[in-house]
């Protein structure tokens, strides 16, 4: 393949797009943000002007947030050479000096990978049995973890990162990030089965909802499906299909939001591009705003309904009652007659309610 010719910046926009040239690696110590070789972000973890101190410590790999809170309470953390013991203290890690036990903390850069997980590989970070993990395929130990785990028998797209905030948004069902799966089941799936799944299937941990399900093809003894979910219940697809008496033979995830598996080979991985990371963040940000708006509308509706019911109850209680507690209040014309003659109301005078 002939080498790619370099072009000037002033004329690069007029030229047709060529294969991207990998830029030279830059030092993260010189700039807090740069581009990776594949175009991905190189932002430092837990960045920002107002970040909780325990979050910065956890991103530096000093333990969970709870254990980092203990470090703060024990007086082992310094900010700008001042011991900080107050939990919830907000700092600017880009400008302030933070030490633990007299040592500067090392903030790792944010990394984002996508990997085509083969069947038989685990998504867990720690396995006492020493079986092959997703992180073993990458070989990057910068406090990475997987987003949207797949069980050992499943395969397909996995996102690996050390960005805890983005990971929580993608995995949490309130942000409604769609995941697309290709599923092969035993037997011939009928329309009645699809309708039952679309209505929702009750599992041991609640009702499971599927965004969409369709049949891609029929084989002799199997059926190929495409399913879209935004929830994250444990082994949800396998349990849902088991409820309609179909065993899952193959399960492969091919998309998480805007990220597509495409033609990435099995067991291979690559870094997400800057545009892909930005698309994920934009999707979860817009979802959070829309869900917050829906929640506000629902809360306002509930408050309105409750206030109207309280007003109606108050109006009913303000009217004088002439019936005794043991009698019923009649309906329509019989109601006035019973009010004039208290104590003589018949149980069959009409529908009523006991006070």
Instruction: Report DSSP state, residue 187.
Output: S
**What are the tokens at 46?**
């837990």
Q: Rounded to an integer, what distance in angstroms lies between the CA atom of residue 312 and that of residue 330?
A: 19
> Phi/psi of residue 284, each to 5°?
-70, -30
Q: Is 138 exposed, middle or buried (0-12, 13-18, 19+ CB in 10 A)?
A: middle
Q: Which two tokens stand for residue 318?
A: 């303000």
Are the C-beta atoms of residues 213 and 197 closer than 8 Å to each other?
Answer: yes
Structure tokens given for 47: 């960045």
Tokens matching residue 180: 């697309």
Q: In what order do the strands lie in the sheet with 77-79?
A: 82-83, 77-79, 98-100, 103-104
Cα–Cα distance measured from residue 170 to residue 85, given in angstroms and rounded to the nearest whole number: 33
Q: H helices then E strands: how many in the chain?
A: 9, 17
How many CA within 13 A on the CB side of residue 243?
20
Separation between Cα atoms, residue 197 and residue 190, nearest integer Å? 11
Burial 199-220 (b: 16+ CB within 10 A, else e): eebebeeeebbbeebeeeeeee
Give the helix ranges, DSSP H, for 231-330.
236-243, 274-318
Look up 151 and say whether it is catalytic: yes
The tokens of 175 are what? 């942000």
Catalytic residue among 151, 188, 193, 205: 151
Q: Please report where in the chains the tokens 């910046």 appear, as a residue.
A: 9
Tokens 């396995």 — which residue? 127
By annotation, the residues acting in catalysis are 151
């Amino acid at each position: 393949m002939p080498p790619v010719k370099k072009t000037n910046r002033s004329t690069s926009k007029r030229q047709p797009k060529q294969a991207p040239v990998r830029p030279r690696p830059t030092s993260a110590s010189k700039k807090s943000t740069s581009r990776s070789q594949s175009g991905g972000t190189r932002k430092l973890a837990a960045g920002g002007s107002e970040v909780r101190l325990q979050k910065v410590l956890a991103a530096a790999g000093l333990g969970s947030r709870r254990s980092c809170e203990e470090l703060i309470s024990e007086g082992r953390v310094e900010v700008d050479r001042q011991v900080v013991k107050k939990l919830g203290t907000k700092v600017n890690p880009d400008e302030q000096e933070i030490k633990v036990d007299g040592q500067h903390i090392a903030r790792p850069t944010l990394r984002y990978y996508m990997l085509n997980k083969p069947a038989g590989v685990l998504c867990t970070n720690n396995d006492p049995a020493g079986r092959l993990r997703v992180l073993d395929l990458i070989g990057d130990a910068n406090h990475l973890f997987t987003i949207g785990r797949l069980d050992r028998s499943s395969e397909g797209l996995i996102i690996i990162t050390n960005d805890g905030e983005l990971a929580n948004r993608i995995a949490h069902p309130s942000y409604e990030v769609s995941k697309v799966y290709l599923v092969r089941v035993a037997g011939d799936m009928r329309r009645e089965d699809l309708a039952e799944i679309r209505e929702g299937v009750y599992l041991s941990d609640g009702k499971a909802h599927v965004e969409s399900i369709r049949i891609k093809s029929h084989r002799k003894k199997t059926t190929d499906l495409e399913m879209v979910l935004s929830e994250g219940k444990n082994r949800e697809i396998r349990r849902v299909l088991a409820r309609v008496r179909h065993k899952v033979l193959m399960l492969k995830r091919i998309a998480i939001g805007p990220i597509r598996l495409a033609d990435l080979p099995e067991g291979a991985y690559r870094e997400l591009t800057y545009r892909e990371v930005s698309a994920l963040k934009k999707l979860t940000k817009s979802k959070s705003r829309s869900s917050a708006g829906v929640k506000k509308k629902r809360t306002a509706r509930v408050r309105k309904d409750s206030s109207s019911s309280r007003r109606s109850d108050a109006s009913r209680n303000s009217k004088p009652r002439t019936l005794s507690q043991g009698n019923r209040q009649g309906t329509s014309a019989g109601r006035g007659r019973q009010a004039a003659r208290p104590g003589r109301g018949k149980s069959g005078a009409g529908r009523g309610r006991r006070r």
